[in-house]
Structure 1
Amino acid sequence: MGITKTTGKFPGDTKGIKNWSGKLDISQSVSGVILALFLWTHLVLVSSILLGGDAMTWVAGVMELNFLSPDGHGYPWVVSFIAIGVAALALVHLLVAITKLPMNLRQQLALKKQMSVINHGDTKLWVWQALTGVAILFLLPVHLWLIGAAPETIGPVGSADRIWNDGVWLIYLPLLVCVELHGAIGVYRVAIKWGAARDINTRARMKRVKTIISVVFILIGIASLLAFLPYA
């Protein structure tokens, strides 16, 4: 087997490239689904404030493994460890996803032209996912730092003070909208990519479910932010 004249590479080299590209696709899909599931679980736990301060205090204590500590105060560093883990997984997801974004003006103009010619719903969803992903890139590190650096403040009073008295709601509110849209679109696109919907009707139903999930979790998130007001 010789080297081809056009590429200067062995003919079998493209197989390795395709395999590597496939692995990157899988890593992006897996990391995205894990992050989306964590996001929804996290929001459900935070929404315990809707049941009252005692409910959130109990949830925060369980997250800090207070049932394992002799004094019952738990280990706040567990929350910091989770924040670091989420940051690492998000970084992996970002590094793979960023290779698929139109980074230069030429690519952006080509995408704009394509969208003006072809009215494709899933392409529009991809654009929204890309835009929200860029916003998350700037907003999420702030949230993870605030939580990871002071995990002992998580609770009705500490969280309310951070959100309302320190004005962090200005970060949390857009982050809430962006992550919910990004996560729901991402899970939908992963399902489509790996063959969960093979006909138009199934895809349409999945889009409706995606929209419902986004709306429900955004409303829950906003209600939770407002529920912290009495404790501020």
Structure 2
Amino acid sequence: MTTKTYVPNPVSPRVLGHHWSAKADRLQSATGVLMGVFLLFHLHFESSILLGKDAFYHVVHFLEGSIFSDDGKGFPIITQIISVFMLAVFVLHALTALRRFPTQLGQWRALQSSLNTIRHSDTRIWYFQLLTGAALFFLVPVHLFEMIQAPNIGPNMSAERVYHDNTWVLYALLLPAVVVHAVFGLYRVAVKWGLTFQRHKLRRFAHGLMIYLMVLGIASLMCYLLIGSELTLPVTPYSPS
């Protein structure tokens, strides 16, 4: 006759899980989706410079509430408010994501071993998110603080910042990191919360979206560099003729 002996679990219930852990997961996903969607709109708004200075000028001032201002130029403080809000969202996302960041040498070795032996696509996607997230931890605050301190946006002022202030270096590092992190992040949220079960098709779409956003961002950056190279200092804000 076989008897079963039940031994109390020596592990603390807090180690097995906590209701705050589930809330942190939801908060991480929500803030990630918010930033991912914001990036999609942001890159397309920025790319309006490809249609000419007038197009970018009108897009910027429309987003800054030009229809509500007497001079039709909008309110630059809106850019500051949005930047402060996105900085807060970024900090909240980073705090919830740091829970899963490997902090010990043994964890990094286990991760590398898993990547080399299992060859699992979603594990590699998580690894890329880990690397790009670490880079964005330093790059994103610099960009947002820049927008908070100098909210004046326009064809000439933005081009001056990119070309004469050499912020193209920041954007060249920020663009690939944020595109990869955001697109893969949206993919992982869709899979994690059961929004789709077609992982292969969704991965193909994610790869295509990354290529598209990279081309769009690089083209916009090159356009700002070209405009900036033609400006003479001191730069005056652009006004449509």
TM-score computed with the length of structure 1 as normaliser = 0.90
Q: Deviations over 1:109-129 (max 9, x none)?
A: 111122222111110110001
Match status 1:212 vs 2:211: no
Aligned to 2:32: 32
CA distance, structure 1, for counterparts of residue 10 and residue 215 of structure 2: 57
Question: Given residue 120 of structure 1, which amino acid in structure 2 is its aligned partner?
Answer: H
CA distance, structure 2, for counterparts of residue 203 and residue 18 of structure 1: 29
Aligned to 1:119: 119
CA distance, structure 1, for counterparts of residue 199 and residue 144 of structure 2: 34
CA distance, structure 1, for counterparts of residue 10 and residue 187 of structure 2: 40
| SS at 1:151 equivalent | coil
CA distance, structure 1, for counterparts of residue 134 and residue 41 of structure 2: 23
Identical pairs, percent: 38
Aligned to 1:49: 49
Aligned to 1:142: 142
Residue 108 of structure 1 deviates from its aligned partner by 0.6
Question: Given residue 21 of structure 2, which amino acid in structure 1 is its aligned partner?
Answer: S
Q: Which has the larger radius of gyration?
A: 2
Aligned to 1:70: 70
Match status 1:128 vs 2:105: no
Q: Deviations over 1:198-226 (max 9, x none)?
A: 3xxx2110000000110000100000011
Question: Given residue 224 of structure 2, which amino acid in structure 1 is its aligned partner?
Answer: F
Question: Given residue 209 of structure 2, which amino acid in structure 1 is its aligned partner?
Answer: I
More helix by share: 1
CA distance, structure 1, for counterparts of residue 147 and residue 18 of structure 2: 40
In structure 1, stretches of 5+ residues that fail to align are none
Residue 14 of structure 1 deviates from its aligned partner by 5.3
Q: Residues 151 and 5 from structure 1, CA distance in 2 versus in 1: closer, same or farther, beyond 3 angstroms? A: closer
Aligned to 1:176: 175
Q: Deviations over 1:33-63 (max 9, x none)?
A: 1100000101100000010000000011112
In structure 2, stretches of 5+ residues that fail to align are 1-7, 229-241
Residue 22 of structure 1 deviates from its aligned partner by 1.1
Q: Deviations over 1:156-197 (max 9, x none)?
A: 100111111111111101101111000010000111111133
| SS at 1:166 equivalent | coil
Question: Given residue 166 of structure 1, which amino acid in structure 2 is its aligned partner?
Answer: D
CA distance, structure 2, for counterparts of residue 99 and residue 229 of structure 1: 39
1:192-207 alignment runs, 5 A limit: 192-198=191-197, 202-207=198-203
Q: Residues 208 and 64 from structure 1, CA distance in 2 versus in 1: closer, same or farther, beyond 3 angstroms? A: same
Aligned to 1:158: 157
TM-score computed with the length of structure 2 as normaliser = 0.87
Match status 1:187 vs 2:186: yes
CA distance, structure 2, for counterparts of residue 122 and residue 5 of structure 1: 32
Aligned to 2:222: 226
Aligned-CA RMSD value: 1.8
Aligned length: 221
